[in-house]
Structure 1
Amino acid sequence: MSVRTVLGDVEELGVTYAHEHLFMTGDWAVRNEPDYRLDSLEAAVEEVAAAQRLGLSAVVEMTPLGFGRSPRLMRALAERTGLHVVAVTGFHKSTYYSDAHWLHHYTVDEIAGLLAAEIEAGMDEFGLVGPIIRRSPARAGAIKLAAGYHRLPGERLIKAVAEAAQRTGVPVVTHCDKGTMGHELLDALQVDRVILGHIDHNPDAGYLASLAERGAYLAFDRPGRIKYGPDSDIVALVEALAARGLGDRLLFGMDLARRSYWPSLGGGPGLTYLLERFVPRLEAAGLGEVAKAALIGNAQAAFSLR
């Protein structure tokens, strides 16, 4: 089944990072934290090219509306490098948007229609801040929805995201603050594919297994960011879930959404870390086939159009 990328639908993604940020050019994130400014095509090309030499083929670019998402730069990066880039429409936490923002006021059908159009007709270069919409030829391939710490987003927004996902056949990708609200999101959305992001920030194997058993994909995007905990925690989680026969529910990414994470901008660990450092640890633990499935087959299944 095909996957929608910014350069068109493709049949095979190959090795895929399921949660990444390549461009955040303004809006809330950059105004409040300059370290979030990712607006250099050349730096992105350098980061991607280094990971491609290790086998990277595709990235799910998780920058939502209101965070300086750039369809133009995503297309330019894909054209320059050959990387498959899956973009998202949708939202981060509602509190990041001003009281005047339309997401607080439009109806379920109106919000769903705007999201569906970004998937079917093309993303707005202005991030749907209006009143003019300038359609990019780049179409989104997933819808983002963010929960707070032990707090669901509003019911109207949940219904709109679910309606748009069902209408277009793309998955819903989520922000699970500190790894919470997994079951609550599954209960509320009631769609066939939900990818739970940041879920490894709650390194409880029993909890994660209960989510995977319901059919959720678990996006582990913490490797390399040791400030949140050692990689050994994630290796142990992968091992525990694989032992329960749930390896087909795993996805990997890095969520390197800061300048200080990019070697090309003077930071680290960089996009190479997952393939160069983390996957070998899984292989050494006898989990090489699980890692391969998470990066290739699982990602293809999770992000294919239905």
Structure 2
Amino acid sequence: MTVRTVLGDVEEIGLTYAHEHFFMTGDWPVRNEPDYRLDSLEAAVAEVTAARRLGLSAVVEMTPLGFGRSPSLMKALAERTGLHVIAVTGFHKSTYYSDAHWLHHYSPGEIAELLVAEIELGMDEYGLVGPLVRRSPARAGAIKIATSYHAFGRGVERLIGAVAAAALRTGVPVVTHCDKGTMGHELLDALASHGVRADRVVLGHIDHNPDAGYLASLAERGAYLAFDRPGRIKYGPDSEIVALVAELAGRGLEHRLLFGMDLARRSYWPGLGGGPGLAYLLERFVPRLEAEGLGEAAKAALIANPRAAFALRPH
């Protein structure tokens, strides 16, 4: 199975975190919330190096257009650490983009062409803010779409059509932001209406809704569930996630699980004075799963499942 990284296509990615952020260097969401500003290559290298010592091999860097995503910094991070970095193109919640932004005005077909170019030719160094494109050799390996809390949000249903068209043309998966763990079925239904199967969709933040029955119903459709809350106790204790893994594994759904940390704030990085840090998942959370007899589920969620979820599969 081939996976597209910022340094090129690879056949094996190894132990993978499915939802991370290393670089958010500007634009108004970052200016409005300074804790989002992640612009230090040295700090990112330190975070990755600590996790690499514990076996981390690959990361899906989920920073989309409009947050100062930096292909050049992602490429430099991969070169310096040996980490496989799978970058995304696409969008966060529509409220993060001004009324003048092109995503509110371009046709779905035009938007799809822009996304396809980021995957097949290379990401724009300046996030497609135009008018010129500075094409990086680093290509995106997934497309992001985000919904709001219990709602799609302004224009998102139109964007889903563009995202689906680009995903089908290029074979990359669709990765999502499900606000507070909502809109999972609605996203799967909308993408399916455009031809994207559930097994080509990764539902992010879905463990923020720790309802085992709900999560099982999504996994049974074939979607991948990205559990990216471990260590961030303000959203709930790790015990909730351990219980969810146990319940889903007990239902034979461990092959639909993915893990990540979603460390999208400076205050989450030890090198910048915060925590829990990138190493927490392997240092603290996975041993807890192993102690509960869930070692095989953890191994699947970190190795076999991401290899399948992020593989290129042309329509």
TM normalised by structure 2 equals 0.97
Q: Residues 176-201 of structure 1: CA distance to partner in whole angstroms, max 9, x if unpaired?
A: 00000000000001112110000000
Distance in 2 (alpha carbons) for counterparts of 1:50 and 1:294: 20
Residue 94 of structure 1 corresponds to 94
Task: Determine helix, strand or coil for the equivalent of 1:296.
Answer: helix
Does 1:172 pair with 2:179?
no
Residue 252 of structure 1 corresponds to 259
Matched AA of 1:283: E
Distance in 2 (alpha carbons) for counterparts of 1:14 and 1:225: 24
Mapping for residues 39-50 of structure 1, pairs under 5 Å: 39-50=39-50
- Following superposition, the deviation at residue 155 of structure 1 comes to 2.1
Residue 142 of structure 2 corresponds to 142
Residue 263 of structure 1 corresponds to 270
Q: Residues 16-61 of structure 1: CA distance to partner in whole angstroms, max 9, x if unpaired?
A: 0000000000012211111111000000000000000000000000
- Give unmatched runs, 5+ long, in structure 1: none
Residue 106 of structure 1 corresponds to 106
Residue 281 of structure 1 corresponds to 288
Residue 212 of structure 1 corresponds to 219
Mapping for residues 113-192 of structure 1, pairs under 5 Å: 113-153=113-153, 154-190=156-192, 191-192=196-197
- Give unmatched runs, 5+ long, in structure 2: none
Does 1:304 pair with 2:306?
no
Q: Residues 69-108 of structure 1: CA distance to partner in whole angstroms, max 9, x if unpaired?
A: 0000000000000000000000000111000100000011
Matched AA of 1:37: R
Matched AA of 1:284: A
Distance in 2 (alpha carbons) for counterparts of 1:270 and 1:155: 35
Distance in 1 (alpha carbons) for counterparts of 2:218 and 2:187: 10
Cα RMSD after superposing both structures: 0.5
Mapping for residues 3-18 of structure 1, pairs under 5 Å: 3-18=3-18
Residue 35 of structure 1 corresponds to 35
- Residue identity over aligned pairs, in percent, reads 85
Distance in 2 (alpha carbons) for counterparts of 1:102 and 1:29: 17
Distance in 2 (alpha carbons) for counterparts of 1:28 and 1:285: 43
Does 1:240 pair with 2:247?
yes
Q: Residues 137-193 of structure 1: CA distance to partner in whole angstroms, max 9, x if unpaired?
A: 000000000000001143210100000000100000000000000000000011121
Residue 68 of structure 2 corresponds to 68
